[in-house]
Amino acid sequence: MNKNLKHRLICFFGIFQRTSHILLIFLFFNACQEEFTNESDVESISVSISFDRFDLKFYNQPSKVIPELKNKYPFLFPKQFSDSVWISRQKDSLQLLLQSEVNTTFNNIEPLERDVNHLFKHIKYHFPFIKTPRVITLTNNVDYQIKTVYSDSLLLISLDTFLGSENPLYDGIPSYIRKELDPKYIIVQIADKFGTFIIPPVEDRTFLARMIYEGKKLYLHDLLIPHVPIEDRIAYTKKEFNWALENEKYVWQYFIEKQVLYQTQLEWVHRFIDPAPFSKFYLQLDNETPGRIGSWLGWQIVNSYMTQFPETPLDELLKMSAQKLFNFSKYKPKR
């Protein structure tokens, strides 16, 4: 191997065999996250959500139901489209195939309803003013960029985007996207959309600000879905999560040496925050890295701040400027 390349790989990534050490860190970190909320207090909160199965009311039904559905669900029927469009959609073979797969995958919706109720108990524990939303399930042409939609009173779940990563209907979709088209990520997706709803949008255009914004959302995941495996909260495999733990020091060193934190070019967001099969350091080992490593690092910075100031009210944390949070976090990679 070229000596310069070897030196760069060691400096930036430091791939070591510390499996037992990583496992201990993983278990400790996961245990700490579980203590963030008092689960008995959470469970005492009254939340009752039943899914409104629009998908079942629309497909495999006579066309005469369209006027009634338009009246009941006006937000699902854009006015520029005539009834003939919806009748045609009801009969479309691909739409019927999708609905058939939805019926098979979600033949029993009750476990998912319980998970969503559990999530909103946690949401109301931390944000008592939040309304319990009306939850509507539908199919949406496998539009994996809009798997869920959340507002303060409405939650839409496109069940056809959660049929399982190996479902043949997803052939042709890149594997890093297919990975998240699995039922286990429904609750993660909803928590993520809630984070987008509740956290003030980023006004600072720096890479640091975007990194910490994503870190705040992942910190919320720890609070709202503590029973979801920690690697699933960022949609990593265990191998990817362990890589992030093991190489935290080298990723941070790379960002510092490249003076990335205060860059405003979108290039850095595309390379290290946007969903991707891997993070783009432009090194030989890129294919071994997980995507969104900038988001993961933002998560660690937020955790570092909360370690320093554990009594910080949650709403204050979410509103805090990225620069202030970073300054007070005293963030330093643990390894």
> When comparing pLDDT for 1 and 208, which is higher?
208
**Roughly what angle, to the nearest 10 degrees, separates helices 3-12 and 248-257?**
110
Place of tokens 């979801």: 228
Is the per-residue pLDDT at 224 higher than 80?
Answer: yes
Domain boundaries, position 282: 14-40+200-329
Residue type present at position 5: L
Q: Average of pLDDT values for 7-33? A: 41
Q: Average of pLDDT values for 109-119? A: 97
Query: Quick check: 157 and 181 in contact, CB under 8 A?
Result: no
5 within some domain: no
Query: Quick check: 250 and 13 in contact, CB under 8 A?
Result: yes
Is the per-residue pLDDT at 23 higher than 80?
Answer: no
Residues 192 and 222 in one domain: no
The last residue of one of the domains, among 163, 198, 233, is 198
pLDDT for 289: 97
Q: What is the pLDDT of residues 83-107, one digit of tens each?
A: 999 999 999 999 999 999 999 999 9
pLDDT for 14: 43
Greatest CA separation for the chain: 73
Question: Which sign does the torsion angle of CA 276, 277, 278, 282 carry?
Answer: negative
User: With 0-12 CB in 10 A as exposed, 13-18 as middle and 19+ as buried, what is 52?
Assistant: middle
Is the per-residue pLDDT at 262 higher than 60?
Answer: yes
Q: What is the pLDDT of residues 44-81, one digit of tens each?
A: 999 999 999 999 999 999 999 999 999 999 999 999 99
Residues 126 and 261 in one domain: no
pLDDT for 98: 97
96 within some domain: yes
- Confidence category of residue 335, pLDDT binned at 50, 70, 90: low
State how far the Cα of 218 lies from the Cα of 17, in Å rounded to an integer: 27
Residues 63 and 204 in one domain: no
Q: What is the pLDDT of residues 175-195, one digit of tens each?
A: 999 999 999 999 999 999 999
The last residue of one of the domains, among 157, 174, 198, is 198
- Cα 325 to chain centroid distance, Å, stands at 22
Choose the weakest-confidence range: 7-16, 56-65, 143-152, 244-253: 7-16
pLDDT for 28: 39
Residues 173 and 75 in one domain: yes
Is the per-residue pLDDT at 11 higher than 90?
Answer: no
- Confidence category of residue 9, pLDDT binned at 50, 70, 90: very low
State how far the Cα of 231 lies from the Cα of 140, in Å rounded to an integer: 27
- Confidence category of residue 37, pLDDT binned at 50, 70, 90: low
Question: Which sign does the torsion angle of CA 96, 187, 157, 147 carry?
Answer: negative
Q: Copy the structure tokens of residue 183.
A: 């039922």
Choose the weakest-confidence range: 26-30, 177-181, 190-194, 197-201: 26-30
97 within some domain: yes
Q: Average of pLDDT values for 304-317? A: 97
What's the number of domains the chain is made of? Answer: 2
